[in-house]
Amino acid sequence: MSITYIDAIREAQLTLLREDPRVFLYGQDIATFGGAFKATKGLAEMYPNRVFDCPISEDAMIGLAVGAAIEGMRPIVEMQFADFSSIAFNQIVNQAATHFYRTAVPVPITVRLPSGGTAGSGPFHSQSMEGIYAQYPGLIVLTPASVSDAYHMLIDAVGLNDPVIYCEHKFLYRWLKAKTIHNDHLPIGQARIVRTGKHATVVAYSAMVHEAVRAADRLHHDGWEIEVVDLRSVKPLDIDTVLASVARTGRLLAVGEAFPWGGVTAEVVARVAGEGFHLLDAPPQRLNARDTPVPYHPQLWAAHRPTPESICEALRKLLAF
């Protein structure tokens, strides 16, 4: 008996529907059909008046969620793919994100973004948008990497009084399994050290945590002990845990699946360079996807994103400095 990452997301929504009458689900094909990835399978049958199919109108979906949140509800909006949230960009960053600052009225909406690449998905079904949303004041951006985090962080997201961008990685949906959902969850805003080490720190989030652990396993054979930090939330960013790790290892590699210009890895490197310069024994490094759209062909795609091989290569250079 095991539970997958997407089972955890479905389970969290079921828990929320059961326990919080303010919660409703709004998205394309999420009612009877159960969602493009089946994250809401069976929920409409159990809660027919709280799980809604909606028109292909990402802008209006978020606008509706903001209006409903103003009136006391806790909507969860499913974007069919993170990429399509670009259509809702205005409502997310200008309406939802500015609302509490401008008016003192919070808009607690949760936007689920099926994120990241999978083989053969191409430029418009593969994007990682966390860095873009984290850039805007007024948003919380979560990037769970484990089955338990997928569950607990979605529950936590709906409980927060701010708009939350919940980035769930499509590659992890069915690949990542756990025996059970643990109850030892951390609060939002705290990173987790998923593997301890002393020679270098890899800071990663979402699916890249697993690629980083694989890379660390390989380097272990050569005698290197790599520490891997899972950020869990990219905003807020738990820089204290990162700095404490860098203090132990003296070396930093930040790994992300998003495009390379700016973004989460750049923020981590900038923060460590600014606040922990004296802790570093080597220039802090970052590894991201390449600076092209996400390619369609599996061979191109596999070489576009960071892999255990490319992470190992980057770490070897870092360790040799």
Task: Catalog residues that contact another protein under the rule CB under 8 A.
Answer: 24, 49-50, 54-55, 57-73, 75, 87, 90-91, 94-95, 97-106, 137-138, 140, 160-162, 187-190, 233, 235-240, 271, 274-278
C-beta closer to another protein: residue 221 or 278? 278
Residue 283 CB-density burial (10 A; 0-12 exposed, 13-18 middle, 19+ buried): exposed
For the bound state, the minimum distance from the C-beta of residue 46 to another protein, rounded and expressed in Å, comes to 16
Q: Which residues pair with 112 in a beta bridge?
A: 78, 166
Closest to another protein by CB, 145 vs 188, is 188
State which residue, 218 or 271, has the beta carbon closest to another protein.
Answer: 271
Annotated active-site residue 125? The verdict is yes
CA distances from 156 to 67, 71, 276 (A): 21, 20, 30
Catalytic site residue from 125, 185, 210, 304:
125
Rounded least distance, CB 93 to another protein, Å: 10
Distance CA 271, CA 187 (A): 21
**What value, to the nearest 5°, has the Cα angle with vertex 267 and ends 262 and 272?**
140
Nearer to another protein, 14 or 160 (CB): 160
Q: How far is the CB of 248 from another protein (least distance, A)?
A: 16
In angstroms, give the least distance from the CB of 130 to another protein.
Answer: 15
**DSSP string for 146-158:** SHHHHHHHHHHHH
SS3 category, 24: strand
- Nearest approach in angstroms of CB 108 to another protein is 8
Burial of 291 (0-12, 13-18, 19+ CB in 10 A): exposed
Measured in whole angstroms, the distance separating CA 150 from the mean position of its chain's CA atoms is 9
Taking the least distance from each CB to another protein, the nearer of 4 and 98 is 98
Measure the CA–CA gap between 317 and 321, rounded to whole angstroms: 6
- Rounded distance, CA 85 to CA 48, Å? 25
Residues 261 and 265: their CA atoms lie apart, in Å, by 9
Active-site residues, by number, are: 125
